[in-house]
Chains A and B, each alone.
Chain A
Amino acid sequence: MIRYILGRLASIALTFFVVSVIVFLMMHAVPGGPFDGNDMPVSAEVKAKLNANLGLDKPLYVQYLNYMGGVLRLDFGVPFQSPGETVLQLLGRAWPPSLILGGAGVLIGAPLGILLGMAAALNRNSWIDYLASAFATLGLTIPVFVTSMMLILVFAVWLNWLPASGWGKPHSWVLPILAYATIPMATYARYTRSAMLDVLNKPFVTVLRAKGLPERRIIFQHVLRNASLAMVTVFLPMFIGTATGSIFVEAMFRVPGLGAYFVSSIEQRDYPLEMALILIVTLMFCFAYLISDIAYALLNPRIRFGGGEK
């Protein structure tokens, strides 16, 4: 197991390196630089000077090495769009709202979705199943800004219970989190339903019934344990994916989160911010997959003990 984890860590380091090179090259391959925008009329000399100050006139590999050297010291540079602070400071300011929004959304949406999926699977082809499936399908097909708008309309405009936008006191968090929670809820409901049904259709479930186990025990001991095998590999990475929040929900509720910077860093060729965002998200995903694979191995005796295969 330890050897396995070490191997995985090595492959994460490799992934991280490859992603950094590719993203670095791609960003520089796109024509134009940070000072080419029409809204920033600067003369050619000033532009050259700015480029020199930021090291943008050096050969690419030097720029890359300089940059990565900084990254290893946790220095991601200074964002072009906000030169008064470092990238880390900007992230420290903008990430918490996104984390709260995404994290709370998942923490509320995921358990509800799992329960919904279980209820649907256990009552296959009944009204509960149809209702839950319809709900999940709606959650996935209705764009989140429509959901947001409806929530604003009902709770802010008509009932006037909660603020329509902003990110101040915790009560202003309620609507964005609710709007966001519909996505993980719908996704988790669908996965849970199909994972459970998959196990329920296995022959061993019939055997469990034939030997007289109570249905409750069959579901909670056997079916859930097996379904969790399929679920764990999907759920953890999904969890991480949501930790960066939602661009749309943030826009709808004017939440000062990371979402806006994802877009603007690309639009405005803000290399340091763009690189930092991509590298951090990459790393988070790598570790999420590592953790979910370890969890899978711990749950699955076939991997834990090996052997048996031909």
Chain B
Amino acid sequence: MRLVDIKDLTVSFPQTEGLVQAVRGLTLHVAPGESLGIVGESGSGKSVTCMAVLRLLREPPARIAAERLELAGVDMRKADRRQLASMRGSVAAMIFQDPMTAFDPVFTIGHQIAETIRAHRAVSKSEAMAEAEDLLARVRIKAPKAVLQSYPHQLSGGMLQRAMIAMALSSRPQILFADEPTTALDVTIQAQILQLIKEIQAEYGMGLIMVTHDLGVVAETVDRVVVMYGGRVMEEGPVQEIFDAAAHPYTQALLGSIPGRVAGRQRLTEIKGASPNPAHPPSGCPFHPRCPVAEPRCAAEVPALAPFAPARAAACWRVA
């Protein structure tokens, strides 16, 4: 059984330049209890993919097309408003990048967690509050009662992100979508939140999709990785194998350009050029204009994501 099952997903937005495709024919899946990292730079389509699965994009303007778009066996393409609301927060929960803007500023944290609980289960207000306090304790908040009664502006970013995780856990979801959950936080807080997410995932036995631009986050948290670029999947595989021997030139270049891997002041291996403009994507493989080993064929034809070893796949003419 697959918890998340996406086949050939395309997400587009009409813009003045025409229809801009943020995600172009993406296929991925997550098994129950599995953790998947989606790595990509800005404009790679990684966040849009998550939002599309939960149908959180405003449609229109967004247009979603897919051969399959399933969450815990439910066809998300056909789900109506009611069904969507009952899936979100209960089957699948999501946490976001900036905890400072993720809470409604005029209600207490306790109120906002309790209303999530009550949206999915018939419990009294006071029961929901008691449960919220319990959840805050589970995300290792030392003074849950005080946090419960606090307004968002009274708490630090790290504390708010913990509270957001607590809120996400309130209905014991089968899968957690985490969209850059540590990017807005200080480095030491980042590491603590990542650790918390890992522990909670194991405790609850839930699936995890960790969306990030940071390969370090992936190395620390997930089992399997999908590398995205220009709205497409470039490479997919177990995390250890990707870090040991990346197959796609983009993944290789990305790993090579990470600073601080070796001692001493020295120049880094850089990737020339800039990420593609989604309004004018390059022909063929989206990475070919920046690829050090591109061939004429790469500009002409889009390479399909093809398996080349057990559990591994890459979209590159040179790998197949």
Contacts and interface: CB of A to CB of B under 8 A. Distances in A.
Contacts of A299: 106
A211 B102 CA distance: 11
A217 B167 CA distance: 17
Given A203-B96, A307-B154, A211 B119 contact: yes
Interface stretch (A18-26, A182-190, A221-229): A221-229
Interface in A181-236: 202-204, 206-215, 217, 221-222, 225-226, 229
Interface in A236-262: none
B151 A301 contact: yes
Nearest to A308: B153
A188 B39 CA distance: 46
B89 A211 contact: yes
A305 B101 contact: no
A208 B96 CA distance: 11
Contact of A215 (B81, B104, B168): B81
A120 to B, nearest CB: 16
Contacts of B116: 211-213
A302 interface: yes
A300 interface: yes
Contact of A210 (B93, B98, B103): B93
Contact of A212 (B61, B85, B104, B105): B85
B130 interface: no
Interface in B99-120: 101-108, 115-116, 119-120
Contacts of B104: 204, 208, 222, 225-226
B105 A210 contact: no
Contact of B98 (A203, A215, A308): A203
B257 interface: no
B81 A302 contact: no
A210 to B, nearest CB: 4
Contact of B106 (A203, A213, A226): A226
Contacts of A213: 85, 89, 115-116, 119
A305 B146 CA distance: 14
Nearest to A222: B104
B86 interface: yes
A305 B151 contact: yes
Contacts of A217: 115, 119
Contact of B102 (A203, A214, A305, A307): A203
B88 interface: yes
Contact of A301 (B89, B106, B119, B167): B106
Contacts of B285: none
A177 B102 CA distance: 44
Given A212-B119, A229-B106, A305 B88 contact: no
B102 A204 contact: yes
B57 to A, nearest CB: 10
Contacts of B154: 305, 307-308
A222 B106 CA distance: 8
B101 A202 contact: yes
Nearest to B117: A211
B89 A212 contact: yes
Nearest to B51: A206
Contacts of B90: 212
Contacts of B103: 204, 207
Contacts of B164: 207
A226 B107 CA distance: 10
A46 to B, nearest CB: 67
A204 to B, nearest CB: 5
A100 B293 CA distance: 80
Nearest to A307: B154
Contacts of A307: 153-154
A37 B175 CA distance: 84
Contacts of B105: 204, 226, 300-302
A210 B119 contact: no
17 contacts: A125-B61, A204-B102, A204-B103, A208-B104, A210-B94, A211-B94, A212-B84, A212-B119, A214-B85, A214-B119, A217-B115, A222-B107, A226-B104, A300-B105, A301-B105, A302-B153, A305-B154
Given A209-B56, A210-B89, A215-B81, 17 more contacts: A206-B56, A207-B94, A210-B88, A210-B93, A211-B88, A211-B89, A211-B167, A211-B168, A212-B87, A213-B116, A214-B119, A215-B85, A217-B119, A222-B107, A301-B105, A302-B105, A307-B154
Q: Which 9 A-B pairs have the closest CB atoms?
A: A212-B89, A211-B89, A308-B153, A212-B88, A301-B151, A210-B94, A203-B101, A211-B116, A207-B102
Interface of B: 54, 56, 60-61, 81, 84-90, 93-94, 96, 98, 101-108, 115-116, 119-120, 151, 153-154, 164, 167-168
